[in-house]
């Protein structure tokens, strides 16, 4: 299995909702990442988990809350988002913190 699986593929949420994005990999990778990609822009790093510990937070607003329950799963909890948070959220994983990253298909989030 060489895939990074993200669910859901699409999500529409109101500004008062709480929702979660999920990411799963079964490649034994020990580093996992969240990236945010706005329309017609490159992806931008949000968080890095290394060996299930949060290692990098790129000054992301607290309305985004990451969680790594185990080495295969990565969640992104969303609360009180703004319309400008609408974007494609990409999860990635790498064998170790210095190896190349493999990306999932992304979750297209729309905040209304």
Site residues, another protein (CB under 8 A): 4, 6, 31, 33, 35, 41-45, 48, 50, 55-56, 90, 92, 94, 97-106, 108
Burial per residue of 86-107, b for 16 or more beta-carbon CB atoms within 10 angstroms, e otherwise? bbbbbbbbbeeeeeebbebebb
3-state secondary structure of 49: strand
Residue closer to another protein by CB (options 32, 78) is: 32
Minimum distance from residue 90 beta carbon to another protein (Å): 6
Which residue, 6 or 85, has its beta carbon nearer to another protein? 6
Nearer to another protein, 72 or 103 (CB): 103
CB of 12 to another protein, least distance (A): 15
């Amino acid at each position: 299995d060489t895939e990074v699986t993200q669910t859901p593929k699409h999500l529409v949420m109101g500004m008062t909702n709480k929702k979660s994005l999920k990411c799963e990999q079964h490649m034994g990778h020990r580093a996992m990442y969240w990236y945010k990609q706005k329309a017609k822009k490159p992806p931008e790093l949000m968080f890095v988990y290394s060996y299930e510990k949060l290692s990098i937070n790129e000054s992301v607003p607290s309305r985004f809350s990451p969680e790594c329950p185990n080495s295969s799963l990565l969640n992104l909890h969303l609360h009180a988002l703004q319309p400008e948070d609408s974007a494609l959220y990409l999860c990635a994983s790498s064998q170790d913190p210095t190896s190349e990253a493999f990306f999932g298909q992304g979750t297209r989030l729309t905040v209304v």
